[in-house]
Structure 1
Amino acid sequence: MIVSAQNGQEDYLRKVLGNLEKIESATYFVIEQTWEPGDTTALVNRRTFCIEYDHPGDTTIGARFVNFDGIDTTKAVFGYDGTIHAIAYHDIKKLEIDDFTTKPLPFRPLSSPFFNYTRNIIKYALETPDNITVEVEDDVVDWHIRIVINENEQVEFFGKACYLPANPYCWDPTSIYELWVSKANDLPYKVRREMSTNISMKECLDAQLNSASKEKFDLLSFFPKDYKIAKYGERKNVQHASKLLSKNAPDWTLKDAAGKSVSLSDIKSKALLIQLTGIGCGPCRASIPFLNKLRTEFSIDDLGLVAIETWKREGHALQNYINRYGIKYMLLGGTDEISKEYQTGGSVPVFFLLDENRIVRNVFDGYGEKVTDKEILNAINLLSLSSE
């Protein structure tokens, strides 16, 4: 059954919002999942434990929170106190602090805690003049709320609704939010967000409301005292991919979407173009037509072409990406070691052009349509390869 505005939809949303506004603190587990559009298996499946406090004094997010490891709930992973955002890198004993001055934006791009997030979505649906549709469906034990936002910009909820700047890699700005509300307490327990670029879902479990300690919230006290503190955006002492120029390309053996192992030494072409890429990266996706064109214009004997996915997506995600974007070249699943050995610092896309002896002749960092296309094509032609 669809509940329309005439028979109580708006009144029910106001009731749920009222319940959310009564939450001053909450502790709960969260199951977080993300997908690429068209994928049936989650790329990310993560369980965390959260302590959340309402914080009206913060006019950006409107909450303080700390997220912990879902198994070791004493190990803080990241948090926010209304002034700074802290992220722990436990493997290297480092705490990165972002005070939002390095890269000023009109909003703070943080993953808001569950009850703050759902409260702001419902408040927006009730108050916005934007072009939206809202449906409330009876799912027997739950109410299912679906909000479709038809604006020229994607709408994210970093606290209040935020309109994202125009993105050349977003072909459809429609934003869809779905919430599942328990009839037992008229509070949301699951939320799903869908954009043309990716899909995410959070499910709240074992919530304890208004029972957390109201002592002064000291974000840094949740993290180990001996961790080195670094400011977000500080120049890091890292190697750069350009240092591989005129050197042998690091060897690798990786798996394709079907699980078949492929080694650098298996590729016998006169030249080889390697792209380090990431599923979900806009510029990487924008480069696909150019790479497909190269695959068509040059024979496999003359030019090998391999993309290595370095964001550690599984085989099913690789196959979905191949099918969705019509990829005609080899796509392999990468590892952290690939990014280290190719000295990219995790950045994507980065292109490496190798000669017949697998010496790195050119490195292209980033992708700009036509400009990068021309640079790569000119470099290929300098290796005396002829297109078909």
Structure 2
Amino acid sequence: MAWWQTESELLRICPTVHTQTVVCKSRERLQINFKRYKMKNGIILILVISLFGCNSTINQNDYLRKVSENLDQIKSASYFSTQVSSAPEDTARFTEPYELFYKIFINPLDTLVGSSSMTFSAEDTTNMTDFYDGKVRGKVNWEEQYVKIDSFKHHPYPFRLVHYPFYTKINEIIKYTLTTTDSIQTNFKDFGDSIYFCLRIINKHVYFHIKPIDIKNEYIPEDEISQFDVWFNKQDDMPYRMRSKWHHTTIFEACSKPKFNLSKDTALIVSNYFPSYFEVRYVDPYAPNQVEQKEELEGKIAPDWILKDTDFNEVSLSDLKSKVLLIQFTGVGCGPCHQSIPFLKKLVEEYKTKDFEFLSIETWSNNMVGLKRYQQKNGFNFRFLKSTDEVTKSYVVSSVPVFFVIDENRIIRKVINGYSKEVSGKEIKESIDKYL
């Protein structure tokens, strides 16, 4: 039995009678607790030694400027990155952590991303899978020997949906902290071998791409706080871990084995990283005239399925006997999905005396423990099931939330993409009432 287990057991049996603390005058605070316990056969003395970060004499802004200067020196870099997400205020992760290998090429002229990048599997750092070269993003399919390219021609966002390199992103967080007039709170701690820094942006939903993007829509709470926690290694004064928190999700990222080029300007030429005979396919996922595949399901029989709830009970579509079904495909960590919960709970109550049933199907997370807590925390009064890749594909779900209104013959009568407080709720109710 380890000594801390022994101490824990003693604390359960006996109260602490005496505690002494010694504080050493050094970079770290050394706390020594002498804990004395009364036992039937005498007194046992436990010596507990703990190291705590001291109050740093390093000035926060001076240190952040130093780190920013170091980050500004990077011309290109490679590193392994491990990422994982979880629900707010919960440590249960959505999925298993996944590790990728990145090569980045700093490009100050790119005002949207700040760098070009290539992505590789952590297990195979020779075959590139994804890239962004400053103009287009692409995916490389080695099995079928083609490259799929998106030129952002009809991109609807104020940023680009690509990889934002760890180091450029944190550099922007630092520069924002040092120059912003927004309402912010910061925390700065020196732990001897590392520095912890926390930035909290008050009443704003901010993403750090190359520049801070303040997202404003009906899904964002008025009292939103965007929080960014960064850890720096004092050996090289470089960041190695960060955590981003918003009302709907928390994202963790840790970097390892970095290699920096600080002297030679380099550029990404993606054609050097796949064979010249690969077919190049251009796609435009945001083209205004593109037909949504989900609409093609309207009027067809709903694909059957057997899925499990958070208690691992199997539920099938054929088990559901209500005249009208409303099925939502959702994602833990999706802002609009999260904001739809109060409406859906109220909907279930309003229609509980009618021949109607609603159920929600999770598509993002595979962690049943985390999903169970998410269900309990939000007080679901409806079935909550975990999807499979096959079911998600059969309903052509490429984004969430999406709602399917299904009639008594199990024909999909209406497909409603996204959620809006003012529009979606009315549309959903009208569709349900039409087929009841």
Sort the TM-score into its range (normalised by shorter chain).
0.7 to 0.9
Query: 1:2–1:61: structure 2 CA closer, same or farther, 3 Å change rule?
Result: farther
Q: Residue 247 of structure 1 aligns with which residue?
A: 300
Q: Report the secondary structure of 1:15's partner residue.
A: helix
The correspondence for 1:280, drawn from 333, 336, 351, is 333
Query: 1:269–1:232: structure 2 CA closer, same or farther, 3 Å change rule?
Result: same
Alignment of 1:33-112 (within 5 A): 33-44=84-95, 45-88=97-140, 95-103=147-155, 105-112=157-164
Whole-Å separation in 1 of the counterparts to 2:357 and 2:157: 41
- The reply on whether 1:348 has 2:400 as its aligned counterpart is yes
Whole-Å separation in 2 of the counterparts to 1:213 and 1:11: 27
The correspondence for 1:202, drawn from 230, 249, 253, is 253
Whole-Å separation in 1 of the counterparts to 2:144 and 2:214: 33
Whole-Å separation in 2 of the counterparts to 1:122 and 1:21: 11
Equivalent position amino acid for 1:31 in 2? T
Q: Residue 43 of structure 2 aligns with which residue?
A: none
Q: Could you tell me how far 1:92 is from its partner in structure 2? A: 6.3
Whole-Å separation in 2 of the counterparts to 1:22 and 1:70: 26
Query: 1:277–1:104: structure 2 CA closer, same or farther, 3 Å change rule?
Result: closer
Query: 1:303–1:141: structure 2 CA closer, same or farther, 3 Å change rule?
Result: same
Query: 1:111–1:262: structure 2 CA closer, same or farther, 3 Å change rule?
Result: same
Q: Is the 8 A contact 2:105 2:266 kept in 1?
A: no
- The reply on whether 1:184 has 2:239 as its aligned counterpart is no
Query: 1:166–1:238: structure 2 CA closer, same or farther, 3 Å change rule?
Result: closer
Across the aligned residues of Structure 1 and Structure 2, the Cα RMSD in angstroms comes to: 2.8
Which structure: larger Rg?
2
Whole-Å separation in 1 of the counterparts to 2:73 and 2:405: 59
Q: Could you tell me how far 1:316 is from its partner in structure 2? A: 2.5
Alignment of 1:231-380 (within 5 A): 231-233=283-285, 240-299=293-352, 302-344=355-397, 346-380=398-432
Q: Could you tell me how far 1:48 is from its partner in structure 2? A: 0.6
- The reply on whether 1:163 has 2:216 as its aligned counterpart is no
Q: Could you tell me how far 1:91 is from its partner in structure 2? A: 7.0
Whole-Å separation in 2 of the counterparts to 1:295 and 1:49: 45
Q: Is the 8 A contact 2:362 2:385 kept in 1?
A: yes
Query: 1:188–1:283: structure 2 CA closer, same or farther, 3 Å change rule?
Result: closer
Q: Report the secondary structure of 2:65's partner residue.
A: helix
Stretch of structure 1 that moved more, 351-360 or 245-254: 351-360
Q: Is the 8 A contact 1:25 1:52 kept in 2?
A: yes
Q: Report the secondary structure of 2:82's partner residue.
A: strand
Equivalent position amino acid for 1:260 in 2? N
Q: Is the 8 A contact 2:105 2:267 kept in 1?
A: no
Whole-Å separation in 2 of the counterparts to 1:34 and 1:353: 30
Q: Residue 73 of structure 2 aligns with which residue?
A: 22
Q: Report the secondary structure of 2:215's partner residue.
A: coil
Q: Could you tell me how far 1:288 is from its partner in structure 2? A: 2.1
Whole-Å separation in 2 of the counterparts to 1:33 and 1:127: 30
Whole-Å separation in 1 of the counterparts to 2:161 and 2:293: 27
Q: Could you tell me how far 1:101 is from its partner in structure 2? A: 3.2
Q: Could you tell me how far 1:90 is from its partner in structure 2? A: 5.8
Q: Could you tell me how far 1:327 is from its partner in structure 2? A: 1.5
Q: Is the 8 A contact 2:117 2:163 kept in 1?
A: no
Query: 1:88–1:35: structure 2 CA closer, same or farther, 3 Å change rule?
Result: farther
Query: 1:349–1:105: structure 2 CA closer, same or farther, 3 Å change rule?
Result: closer
Q: Could you tell me how far 1:352 is from its partner in structure 2? A: 2.3
- The reply on whether 1:127 has 2:182 as its aligned counterpart is no
Q: Report the secondary structure of 1:38's partner residue.
A: coil
Stretch of structure 1 that moved more, 239-248 or 289-298: 239-248
Q: Could you tell me how far 1:86 is from its partner in structure 2? A: 2.4
Q: Report the secondary structure of 2:124's partner residue.
A: coil
Q: Deviations over 1:237-257 (max 9, x none)?
A: 877334334433211001111
Equivalent position amino acid for 2:260 in 1? L
Equivalent position amino acid for 2:311 in 1? A
The correspondence for 1:31, drawn from 52, 61, 82, is 82
Q: Could you tell me how far 1:85 is from its partner in structure 2? A: 2.5
Q: Could you tell me how far 1:106 is from its partner in structure 2? A: 4.3
Q: Alignment length, in residue pairs?
A: 379
- The reply on whether 1:12 has 2:12 as its aligned counterpart is no
Q: Could you tell me how far 1:168 is from its partner in structure 2? A: 1.3
Q: Is the 8 A contact 1:135 1:145 kept in 2?
A: yes
Query: 1:261–1:118: structure 2 CA closer, same or farther, 3 Å change rule?
Result: same
Q: Could you tell me how far 1:19 is from its partner in structure 2? A: 2.0
Q: Is the 8 A contact 1:179 1:192 kept in 2?
A: yes
Q: Is the 8 A contact 1:96 1:232 kept in 2?
A: no
Q: Is the 8 A contact 2:201 2:226 kept in 1?
A: yes
Equivalent position amino acid for 1:14 in 2? R
Stretch of structure 1 that moved more, 69-78 or 233-242: 233-242
Equivalent position amino acid for 1:350 in 2? V
Equivalent position amino acid for 2:231 in 1? W
Query: 1:227–1:32: structure 2 CA closer, same or farther, 3 Å change rule?
Result: farther
Q: Report the secondary structure of 1:117's partner residue.
A: helix
Q: Which structure 2 segments of 5+ residues have no match? A: 1-53
Q: Is the 8 A contact 1:179 1:191 kept in 2?
A: yes
